[in-house]
């Protein structure tokens, strides 16, 4: 005649370990109890996030491992595995910290202009780095790098004037340039007196013309 003792709570050596840690998941495995004291009906895996003290059941089955997902990056978790018979459970725990990840929910920075060469940038602080970018345009400024115009004569009453756009427009290019006033001395012989010498000067006004074009003007004043 064969007699079987009653089922008891598992006992003996029972361990769990973390096999792999990611930013939002961990892989966990465990052994069977060295003294099951009956038929193991299920293994339970619960997680406790220590900052919020939130407890969740992550697994209920007969396998000896699982992957826990939907975790919070860079957070400490206590993972408890329970080996259960019909009358009770034996528990073992392991602690792990998920890997850090780039922060989420970073708002775009605020950018304002403060003159032609200055940007004011402000943003909300956060831990870690998150790539975000905006585009801003500084205020326009007077052009720089404008070379002198090239002037040639074409007879006693005509000037040929040409120029190139500035090397640094410092703003949206315009289609025309401002007025130029050219003080021009004629090549006439100067009138001599005992005490001084002078030559005849005229003012030639070059009207608005398109950049890069050549202007011919002979009007004098």
pLDDT at 106: 74
Has domain 16-97 been given CATH number 2.60.40.10?
Answer: yes
The whole-number pLDDT of residue 155 equals: 78
| pLDDT at residue 151, rounded to an integer | 82
Of 115, 118, 16, 111, the residue nearest 66 (C-alpha): 16
Identify the pLDDT of residue 174. Answer: 61
User: Residue 143's pLDDT is what?
Assistant: 82
- Specify whether the CB–CB gap between 210 and 178 falls below 8 A: no
Where along the chain do its domains lie? 16-97, 150-217
The pLDDT of residue 93: 97
CA of 4: how far to CAs of 1, 33, 37, 84, 121, in Å? 10, 20, 11, 19, 78
Q: Which residues of the chain have pLDDT under 50?
A: 175, 177-221
Query: What is the reported pLDDT for 78?
Result: 97
Residue-wise pLDDT tens digits, 58-114? 999 999 999 999 999 999 999 999 999 999 999 999 999 999 998 777 778 888 877
């Amino acid at each position: 005649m064969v007699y079987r003792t009653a089922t008891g709570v598992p006992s003996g050596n029972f361990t769990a370990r973390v096999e792999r840690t990611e930013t939002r998941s961990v892989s966990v495995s465990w052994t069977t109890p060295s003294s099951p004291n009956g038929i193991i009906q299920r293994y339970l895996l619960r997680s406790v996030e220590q900052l919020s003290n939130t407890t969740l059941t992550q697994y209920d089955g007969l396998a000896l491992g699982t992957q826990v997902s939907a975790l919070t990056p860079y957070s400490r978790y206590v993972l408890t595995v329970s080996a259960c018979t019909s009358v009770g459970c034996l528990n073992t725990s392991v602690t792990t910290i998920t890997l850090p990840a780039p922060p989420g929910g970073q708002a775009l920075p605020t950018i304002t202009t403060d003159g032609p060469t200055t940007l004011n940038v402000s943003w909300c602080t956060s831990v870690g780095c998150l790539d975000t970018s905006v585009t801003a345009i500084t205020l326009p400024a007077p052009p720089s790098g404008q070379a002198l115009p090239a002037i040639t004569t074409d007879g006693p009453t005509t000037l040929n004037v040409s120029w190139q756009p500035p090397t640094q427009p410092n703003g949206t290019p315009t289609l025309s340039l401002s007025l130029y006033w050219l003080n021009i001395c004629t090549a006439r012989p100067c009138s001599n007196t005992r005490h001084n010498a002078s030559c005849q000067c005229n003012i030639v006004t070059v009207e608005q013309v398109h950049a890069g074009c050549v202007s011919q003007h002979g009007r004098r004043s």
